Structure 1
Amino acid sequence: MQAFLDLNKDSRWMEAIKSKLDIVGESVPPGAHIVYLDYPVHGNIGDLLIMKGTEAYFKAKGIRVRKRFSYLNFRMGTRIPSSWIIVCHGGGNFGDLYPYYQKFRETLVQRYPRHRIVILPQTIYFRDPEEQRRSLKLFGRHADLHLYVRDEGSYRAAKSEIANVTLAPDMAHELYPLKAAPPGSGKRLALVRTDGEGNSWDLERSLVLSCDTRTDWPDLFGAWDRLLLGIVVRAHSLDRRCYNLLPIRRLWYFLSDLYVRRAVRLFDSYDHILTSRLHGHILSCLMGKPNRLMDNSYGKNSSYYRQWIYRLEEACDVGNSGNHAGDLHSQSS
């Protein structure tokens, strides 16, 4: 794999991508009072990185988060002052691949027609074109909806039905830079998806098998972690029934910090990262780790790379896997 070039040079590109998040300020201005909805309560490190980046952005811009809710404990119809902006978590679950989250957002725009609603950077993917049209039309009927998307394909899909659509990078970029240990071990890590977004890595099989370790985000969670996660999920559901009187969010934020640090420590033990996780790639770049990116099942990784990370082409060795990734740039060492 290609080694990182001069980090002083490369940091300019990462800083440039981070600065593009300032565009969120057009709909969520500094000092705004907001409600942050749909923060993730699960063990996907990528979503937790997005959440940490989002909270860092709020802090940096002086945005006042008056309330925070996950989809598990938010009560539709909760009274929200009309001057508060409703801000929804970003990520890659806008579509019919994760219908619960999409239904949550659809219900939200129907129940709060007079509020400004902002959806932070998402990738849009629907398997069913009719469902895509129906859902986007519903969002388009809201008078003050602002949708941020992470790639050109998502932008084209949404712009046909929604007035306020804006391209922006993933919120995890707000975490740049993350400290990393100096290279030296020469070890390689393969972080390969094993869930429904997984893609065949036949084209990268020799590279994957040559890595010292092959893993995925769920492998960072032992039996005790899974038990604790289950308790936290049930506690959020109980909090909804208790009218949000339980201090469960603070506990979850504490635990999620631990899990993110665990991922950072894992990456710190390797000099090169091969991954089909978009946030495996983003975390590598946040830490200045040379890495190679394979695509996921529907082209999310390649679309994101083409939109943003191409500027890191000289610093990251980015490969391709599967039919969707044919346009990813690559350099040989």
Structure 2
Amino acid sequence: MKEEGQLHSMEEIKNKLSIVSEVIAPGSKVVYLDYPVHGNIGDLLIMKGTEAFFRDYGITVRKRYSYVNFRADSIIPEDWIVVCHGGGNFGDLYPHHQQLREKAVKAYRRNRVVILPQTIHFDDPLEEQRAFKKLSEHPDLHLFVRDETSYLKAESKINHVYLAPDMAHQLYPLPSNPPNNHRNLALLRTDKESGQKESSVSFDHKADWPQLFSKWDRWLLKLILASYSLDRRLKNKIPLRPVWYFLADKYIARAMALFDQYDRILTSRLHGHILSCLMDKPNLLLDNSYGKNKSYSRLWTHRLEEESFNGKSGGNHSGDMYPQSS
């Protein structure tokens, strides 16, 4: 139980993001690179958390580029910091994003480059070795990682490596209206990161992020991506980002509305877990295909199973997610 005056664990986790301000000082001018333009709610939560961090710490974003419209010949003043979007795409599962980071490191050797909290995963050890070699050649690269496994991989290869929670935690708290209907939502991955334990959970409704998007949404996403591609060819003259951020807010609100229909969330999506925690909603986190969820929870959110907040249980309400033998 929390003592009176003690911070909720989600506030404590949010406060741990202050370590990022030791590398990106308040008042800095930054370029936000690789912000997501796709329908993954987790990445959109990271993006909104990153923007909230910039606002809360008085950091000025001078330019923003997605991986679609980024040009390595874009001129960036040397006193601007290049800040790369965080998440779980550091590795060879999502090569476009890894390639973009490597291009930025090569193009902006006189700028500080900061990679926000990532989980590192390579299927190919040789590709991992090659990628770290390229990144380590930059004289002022700072890498934040979200779990100890990633930290151990990077600390001997990159000069400046730090542990920090996911940037979405900067959004805490998000509003929630528990329905008290004792119903469970299972938000389970259906992609290449899906885990092995998902068939063992009981639920009242099953969903995944892609099901939040209608045919119209998918068509609109294709149009947005085509527009971003055109913007790259036109040297970033089209003001697309405000339109996309408006749509991203709508998609996040849709995910929150889905969660608010249920009292408890069972999920194999890391950001299904994090969104539940941001909304102080009881949840159970299952692992993904390569241990990302387990590693993250053990480092940051495991304490949430032991406490409640204003009468609401937050975090891993149903007990120990990962037995000692796992």
Q: When the two structures are superposed, what TM-score results if normalisation uses the length of structure 1?
A: 0.91
Contact 2:264–2:282, Cα closer than 8 Å, also in 1? yes
Matched, 1:146 2:142: yes
C-alpha spacing 1:318/1:300, structure 2 compared with 1 (3 Å): farther
The equivalent of 1:137 in structure 2 is: 133
**1:160-199 maps to which residues of 2 (within 5 A)?**
160-199=156-195
Select the residue among 280, 297, 316 that pairs with 1:305.
297
Following superposition, the deviation at residue 174 of structure 1 comes to: 0.3
CA deviation profile, 1:93-152 (whole Å, cap 9, x unmatched): 000111111111111111111110000000000111121111112111110000000001
When the two chains are superposed, the root-mean-square deviation of aligned CA atoms in Å is 1.8
Supply the distance in 1 between the matched residues of 2:151 and 2:129 (Cα, whole angstroms). Answer: 14
Letter in 2 for 1:72: V
Contact 1:306–1:328, Cα closer than 8 Å, also in 2? no
Contact 1:305–1:328, Cα closer than 8 Å, also in 2? no
| Percent identity of paired positions between Structure 1 and Structure 2 | 59
Following superposition, the deviation at residue 327 of structure 1 comes to: 4.8
Letter in 1 for 2:188: V
SS at match of 2:162: strand
The equivalent of 1:35 in structure 2 is: 31
C-alpha spacing 1:52/1:149, structure 2 compared with 1 (3 Å): same
C-alpha spacing 1:9/1:287, structure 2 compared with 1 (3 Å): farther
Matched, 1:314 2:306: yes
The equivalent of 1:278 in structure 2 is: 270
Supply the distance in 2 between the matched residues of 1:327 and 1:89 (Cα, whole angstroms). Answer: 33
The equivalent of 1:235 in structure 2 is: 227
Supply the distance in 1 between the matched residues of 2:114 and 2:92 (Cα, whole angstroms). Answer: 20
Letter in 1 for 2:133: K
Supply the distance in 2 between the matched residues of 1:293 and 1:309 (Cα, whole angstroms). Answer: 10
SS at match of 1:308: helix
Select the residue among 279, 294, 300 that pairs with 2:286.
294
C-alpha spacing 1:305/1:328, structure 2 compared with 1 (3 Å): farther
C-alpha spacing 1:38/1:328, structure 2 compared with 1 (3 Å): farther
The equivalent of 1:118 in structure 2 is: 114
The equivalent of 2:43 in structure 1 is: 47
Supply the distance in 1 between the matched residues of 2:4 and 2:186 (Cα, whole angstroms). Answer: 26
The equivalent of 1:259 in structure 2 is: 251
The equivalent of 1:222 in structure 2 is: 214
SS at match of 2:8: helix
Select the residue among 54, 58, 62 that pairs with 2:58.
62
Contact 2:31–2:80, Cα closer than 8 Å, also in 1? yes
The equivalent of 1:20 in structure 2 is: 16
Q: Which runs of 4+ in 1 moved over 3 A?
A: 5-11, 325-329
Matched, 1:79 2:75: yes
Q: When the two structures are superposed, what TM-score results if normalisation uses the length of structure 2?
A: 0.93
Following superposition, the deviation at residue 26 of structure 1 comes to: 1.1
Matched, 1:92 2:84: no
CA deviation profile, 1:252-279 (whole Å, cap 9, x unmatched): 0000000000000000110000000000
Matched, 1:244 2:236: yes
C-alpha spacing 1:13/1:328, structure 2 compared with 1 (3 Å): farther
Following superposition, the deviation at residue 200 of structure 1 comes to: 2.0
Supply the distance in 2 between the matched residues of 1:7 and 1:250 (Cα, whole angstroms). Answer: 43
Supply the distance in 1 between the matched residues of 2:233 and 2:177 (Cα, whole angstroms). Answer: 45
Q: Which runs of 5+ in 2 are unaligned?
A: 308-315
